[in-house]
Amino acid sequence: MDDANRMNAAQLNARFGLEAQLRFEANRDGMIFGVVDTPQCRGQFWLHGAHITSFQPQGHDELLFVSRDAIYRNDKAIRGGVPICFPWFGANPSAPDLPAHGWARTQPWTVHNTKQSEHSVEVELRLSQQPFEVTFRMEFSSALRLHLSVINKSAESQKFESALHSYFAISDIESIEITGLEAAPFLDQLTSTTHTGAGEAIRFNAETDRIYTAINDNPIAIVDPAAGRQIVVERSNSASVVVWNPWIDKSQRMGDFGDDEWKTMCCIETANIGAECIELPAGKSHCMTACHRADVV
Ligand code: TA6
C-alpha cells in the first residue's frame, strides 16, 4: 500500500486540502471524511467506500438522503448518499455468500488527487483490487458530477456490473413522479417479470424495485412540486437505471433504516447491470458518469 493509504486527516489536509474549500476530518472511530464548502455548494464524502453522503447546492436544500440509522463501520455500507456498487450488482451470482453489491462500497479508498477551479472542487479517490483499478472522480459545483472509471489490469477480458446507487431526498414518495423513463422496458425485481415501457411517468404506491434497460441518454427527473424542485439525473455510458423505494415492510426489515424513512427517499441509480454489464478487454478502461442537480419548479 502506498503511504496515501495510511494518511491521517492532518496529513491528508497537508497534501490534498484546499484551504477552506476542502478539508479532511475523522469521526470518533477514526473514519476519515472530506468536507467541501464552496460558494457553489457544500458536500461530504468518506474514504470508506468513496461514499458521498451530502451534496447541497447553493440556494437548495440537501439533495441526498442518508438514513438517521446509518451505520458508519468499515464492514458496512453507509445507508444513503451514493453507494458505489462494483464489480457486481445485487447478490453475486456465483458466490451468494459474498456481500450484495460488490466489495467497492466497503473498502478503504485512497485520495489520488484534489483540484479546485473557479467554480468547482474535484476529488479523485482510487481503489486497486485485482483485476481492476477503480478511480472515482467527484466534481462538487452547482451540480454533482461523478465519474466511475475502471481499468482492467489483467491479461484477459473481464466483466463487471456497476451502479452509482444514489439516494435522493424528497418531500413525500406519494406526491412525486419520475420522468424520462416512460418508454424504457424494465425488469421488476420483486416479481422477476419484464415489462414494456409504461408510457407514463413513474408514481409510487408500493415497494418498487425496477431495472430499466435500453434507455437513451435523456435526463431522468424526480419531479417534486411540494419541495418546489426537480432533481435531475443525467448519465453517460450507462445502459441501466434502477428505481427503488423499499416502502413499509422492507423498511421495517432494514436495521439501518428508519421505519418511516421510505416516505422521504427515492433511489435513481446510474448503472450497467445484467445483460448490460461491461466486458472490458485486457488493459482497457471504461468510464460511467452521472450528474445530479436540482432545478426550481
Ligand atoms: O437497488 C435496489 C436494491 O438492489 C434493492 O433490491 C435493495 O436491496 C437495495 O438495492 C439496497 O441494497 P443494500 O445491499 O444496500 O441493502
234 CB less than 6 Å from ligand 1? Answer: no
Catalytic residues: 165, 269
131 CB less than 6 Å from ligand 1? Answer: no
pLDDT tens for 37-73 read 999 999 999 999 999 999 999 999 999 999 999 999 9
99 CB less than 6 Å from ligand 1? Answer: no
Ligand 1 atom with the smallest distance to the CA of 100 is 14
| Cα 12 to ligand 1 centre (Å) | 32
77 CB less than 6 Å from ligand 1? Answer: yes
Other Cβ atoms less than 10 A from the Cβ of 237: the count is: 17
| Closest by CA position to 279, among listed 166, 126, 135, 131 | 131
Report d(CA 36, CA 119) in Å as an integer: 12
Q: In testing the pocket of ligand 1, which one of 79, 209, 243, 256 has its CB within 8 Å of the most ligand atoms?
A: 209
> What pLDDT does residue 266 have?
98
Ligand 1 atom with the smallest distance to the CA of 189 is 6
C-alpha cell at 155: 491479461
In terms of Cβ atoms closer than 10 Å to its own Cβ (0-12, 13-18, 19+), residue 138 is buried
C-alpha triplet 33, 164, 135: angle, nearest 5° = 60
pLDDT tens for 189-232 read 999 999 999 899 999 999 999 999 978 889 999 999 999 999 99
244 CB less than 6 Å from ligand 1? Answer: yes
One-letter amino acid at 210 equals: R
Return the residue whose CA atom lies nearest to atom 9 of ligand 1.
Answer: 244
> What pLDDT does residue 6 have?
78
209 CB less than 6 Å from ligand 1? Answer: yes
C-alpha cell at 108: 478503504
Structure pTM? 0.97
